[in-house]
Each structure stands twice: as structure tokens, then as C-alpha cells.
Amino acid sequence: MSNRRTLFRMLTIQRVLVKYGLDDIIKETHLLRPLRFFFYLVPRRRDSSAPLGERIRLALEELGPIFVKFGQAISTRRDLLPADIADELAKLQDAVPPFPAEQAIEIINDAYGETVEDVFERFDTEPLAAASIAQVHTAKLKAGTEVIVKVLRPGVLEQIERDLGVLRMLAGLADRYWEHGKRLRPLEIVDEYEHTILDELDLMREAANTAQLKRNFQGSDMLYVPDIYWDYCRPEVLVQERIFGTPISDMDTLREDGTNIKVLAENGVEIFFTQVFRHNFFHADMHPGNIFVLHNDPERPRYAAVDFGIVGTLSPEDQRYLAENFLAFFDRDYFRIAKLHLDSGWVPPGTRVDQLEAAVRTVCEPIFNKPLAEISFAQVLMRLFRVAQRFDVEIQPQMILLHKTLFNIEGLGRQLYPQLDLWETAHPVLRQWMDEQVGGRAMLKDVRDNLPQLRDALRELPAILNHLGEQVAEGRIRFNLQSPELKIIQVQLEEQRRQRYWLAAAATSVLAGALVMTLGSLPWLGWALLGAGVISAYIARP
């Protein structure tokens, strides 16, 4: 996006803010003060007659998809917003002004190469819901199945690319001029967001995400994921099973039906931690417009989720690091939290662990064993931000989706059941996952997974050693026995030799133990061999 187009877009944003009487928001933003000359280029036709919440919602709708998504994210945080503003922003979840049905039908016809009437038994022109990226129509397939048809908004890619250019320009200003720019890494955050939002524009990707989550929760009594009808899916059109449930935001209906709200809230926390740690594939757009409740059995309510355009994953390192931080937090082990931050490189190497530990304790200790209703997360977040500033904690862009999801989950839990005990609900799930990762079963799995590589290495080792010996004998390789580099190589070779030895011992013991136990003659010997294999695998670890 050219600088000229970016500046023009900034003028447009300023015009919309002035139009709805919101330009003071930008004037008070320190980062944008270098751009205040824009204010003198825009006619002053302010309209402040409508309530503030309504003006904010209308401005976000007019500014486009990225701004609508921002409004959706903060709409779940009623603890951070006045009630009237939260109510207005909640309308952005599924009540954005729709585009004409004629355009939707034209997009569908082009995608299928045939008319809507040829594809569907019935297609309802009145949208069921409209959001920033797409809108949804109800329909019936020729086979009689009730479905929803999701259609991308016309021109949405161009709008998003335009606003990404604005975000990139602002990130560049922050990176260059803001005192916390380097630590918060705004350019990397924008790159991460760009990847996420552009993926959301491919509805085939969303369909694949939905299918994956359905497999992950197959047979679950906590979460239902709708079926995808692949024959009718295209990059700009998605067709899936229609969900008949109560929106999670309709608390009056849930209570009238006798829904066990406490169980519902606890299941929501367990679903989140299961997705992040057990499946490493989590729904990252969990605002109330995407979540329904199936309460055929009010005492055992079941979630139904939709709209999987944004999903998140973590690297094994980030996943393990995050789990250890959560567990240390639940155990009030603040030294462990500080040490994890230092070991991960998230804080500068010279940081004193005891000082970081004391700072984390000061922030976290007051909120323990309190229900959501008694915790001011706004204050906690502000205090954690000040700790991050003091110790130069670097923001990790790859964690942004997870932070956003936690933001939504906590806001949703506050609406559902403010008395929810987050610690009691989440702790067992995390503890079980960690036990699976570092326990004896995990070691056996590592040995099993490494057996093919071990077999290939042992098979190739004689040829490699023979070839190396020939090169040394012919004088093509000369060793400087005093070389520091050679000493490093020697140490590495010795370590590799040690690992190969113990891995071979582990593999032999495990296979022999399995064979003895299969024969059933000397079970104690089989268990002894398996134990020796586990111990050998542990010794072989670097």
C-alpha cells in the first residue's frame, strides 16, 4: 500500500471520527500527536447527539472489518466498559449491517457455476447474521438438510489490505519513536495479525479448521462442532450444518430453561485448556456471537461453536513454557515464573530473579482464591504491564492470538458465572497434561518415536566410520590436536556416542521386555526390562 493511499486512509478515519464526535480520542493518543495536522484538513461537522456507545459502534462499522473486529474483542469485557457502550459493541458480534442479498446470490452463482435454485431446495434471502468478514443465510439442501450458507463480503480483501497499511504505518511510528516500541515489537505484531486476518478470508480454510475441531471433540459431551458439506464449499462460500441452540449471550432464556450455568462455565474453561494443551488447536474467535448452548439436558448443557476462521496453535516450546507458567501460577511458585521468563529469553540476561519474583508476587497474590466477580482484571493487567515495562519483558507476537482468546474467555466467564473458580477448574487439566508430557508414558513414547532414526543411524554408522578412517589414512583429513574447534567436536562426538549407546540399550530393553511380557512366562523380568529401558532413555536425554 503506497504512502499516499495510507495518508488518504488516515484522513478518512479522521473524517469518520469527526463525523461521530469521537476525534478527541485521537487527540489524546500520544502516539498520533505527530499527525495532528490531519485535524486541520478535515471539515468540522460533528454529530454528538446520539449516545456515545452508539456513535462508537457506528464509527467502527463505517471504518470496516478490522475496526469491527476490535469492537467485537472488547465487547466481551463488560468489566472494563460502561454498560451502555458494552451493549452497543455487542451488536458488532452478529448484527453488522448486511450487504444486499442480490450480491450474495451473485457470489454464490459465480462460485458454483450454476444458480442458487439449482443448488438449494430453499435459500432464504434475509440474512440470519452479518459480521465484518461475511454474512450468513439459512438454506435447505436438495437432500432436505437444513444448513447455513456463509458468503464473503464483496471487496473485503481490499478493505483489509488498506487498513493493514495503516496499522503498519502506525507500528512503524511506534517502533521508531515510542519509548516502549522495541520491547513491544509492534511491526511483528502487525505481521502476525496480517497472517491471521488474511487466512480468515479463505472459507475453505475455515471449513478445514471446522473439520479438524470436530475430530478433536468427536464424542465429547461438552462441545459440539457442526458438520461441513464439502461438495458445496468454495473459497468465498461455506456450507455447514445449521445449529439450533440458544446464543450464549441470551442469559434470560438459559435461566428460564433451567440450564446449569455453573457447569456451563466450568466446561468452558476445560474446553479452552483442552484445545490449547491437549489438541494444540484452539478456536481463537470466541466472542458470544459464535457460541451457542444445546440444553436438551439442562443439568448437562453442551456448547456448540461456529465460525472457525481464526484458530491458533503454539510451538511445542511455547506450549510447554505456557503450561509451566500456568502451573507455577496456580501453585504460587513465583520464583519459578521469574526463572521461566529468564530462561526463555523474554527478559534481559542480567535481570535479578529475586526482584522479578517479588514483582510478580505483588501483582498475583491478591487475586488468589477469588471468584471472577471479585477480581479486577483491568487493574491486574495494568500492574502486569508496569512490571513488564520495569523489567523490559518482550512481547511475543506468536502469543497474540492466545492472549486475545484468553481475553474473550475471561469476559465470557464473567458474564456466565461470576462466581467461577478459575484456578480449581483449570488446575487439574493442566496437571494431567504435564504428567502426560514428562511421565514414564511420555518417555516410552519418545523411545518408540525415535526407534526408526536409531535403527537408521546404527545401520549407517559402520560405513561412516570406515569412510572417515580411509580419509585420515590417505592424509585428506589432518587433525590439529590443539585446535579448540577440534576439542568442541570431540566433546560433541562423545556426547552423541553416549546418547546412541543408551538409546540402543533403551530400545533393546523395551523390545525385550515387551517380548517377554507377550510370552507371559516371566512377567517380573518383562517389567524389569521395561524399567531398564525407561531409565536408559532418561540417561540418554541431552
pLDDT at 490: 63
Residue 224 Cα distances to 86, 214, 247, 268, 311, angstroms: 28, 7, 14, 12, 16
In tens, the pLDDT along 373-383 reads 676 655 565 56
pLDDT at 180: 58
Confidence band, pLDDT 50/70/90 cuts, at residue 207? very high
Average pLDDT on 128-140 reads 91
Residue percentage of the chain with pLDDT more than 70: 66
pLDDT at 260: 93
Q: Which amino acid is located at 127 in the chain?
A: P
In tens, the pLDDT along 63-76 reads 777 777 777 766 66
Is the pLDDT at 204 greater than 80? The verdict is: yes
Average pLDDT on 164-184 reads 68
Is the pLDDT at 305 greater than 90? The verdict is: yes
Cα atoms in the Cβ-side hemisphere of radius 13 Å centred on 256: 5
Q: 411 or 324: whose pLDDT is higher?
A: 324
Average pLDDT on 207-211 reads 96
Average pLDDT on 455-477 reads 65
Q: Please, which residues have CB within 8 angstroms of residue 209's CB and are 6 or more apart in sequence?
A: 308, 309, 311
Lowest mean pLDDT among 35-49, 265-279, 367-381, 430-444: 35-49
Q: Which amino acid is located at 254 in the chain?
A: L
Lowest mean pLDDT among 157-171, 279-293, 296-310, 325-339: 157-171
pLDDT at 46: 54
CB 135 within 8 A of CB 153: yes
Is the pLDDT at 428 greater than 60? The verdict is: yes
In tens, the pLDDT along 3-53 reads 667 677 777 777 777 787 776 665 555 445 555 555 555 555 555 678 888
Among 134-138, 315-319, 409-413, the range of highest mean pLDDT: 134-138
pLDDT at 395: 61
* All three cell numbers of 161: 489490505
In tens, the pLDDT along 483-503 reads 555 566 666 666 666 666 666
Q: Please, which residues have CB within 8 angstroms of residue 81's CB and are 6 or more apart in sequence?
A: 74, 75, 89
Confidence band, pLDDT 50/70/90 cuts, at residue 240? very high
Lowest mean pLDDT among 105-119, 239-253, 306-320, 447-461: 447-461
What does the DSSP 8-state code read for residue 373? G
Confidence band, pLDDT 50/70/90 cuts, at residue 209? very high
Q: Mean pLDDT of all residues in the chain? A: 78
CB 111 within 8 A of CB 149: no
Average pLDDT on 515-526 reads 63
Q: Within a 10 A sphere around the Cβ of 390, how many other Cβ atoms?
A: 12
Among 161-165, 448-452, 480-484, the range of highest mean pLDDT: 161-165
Is the pLDDT at 302 greater than 70? The verdict is: yes
Burial of 213 (0-12, 13-18, 19+ CB in 10 A): buried
User: Cell 520495569 sits at which residue?
Assistant: 390
* All three cell numbers of 66: 478490522
Q: Which residues lie across from 136 on neighbouring strands?
A: 129, 150
Is the pLDDT at 281 greater than 80? The verdict is: yes
| Torsions phi, psi for 477 (to 5 deg) | -125, 120
Q: Where are the beta strands (DSSP E) in 452-539?
A: none
* All three cell numbers of 184: 513491544
Catalytic residues: 285
In tens, the pLDDT along 282-295 reads 888 887 888 999 98
In tens, the pLDDT along 179-197 reads 555 656 677 777 777 877 8
CB 67 within 8 A of CB 74: no
User: Cell 432464556 sits at which residue?
Assistant: 253
pLDDT at 343: 80
pLDDT at 368: 74
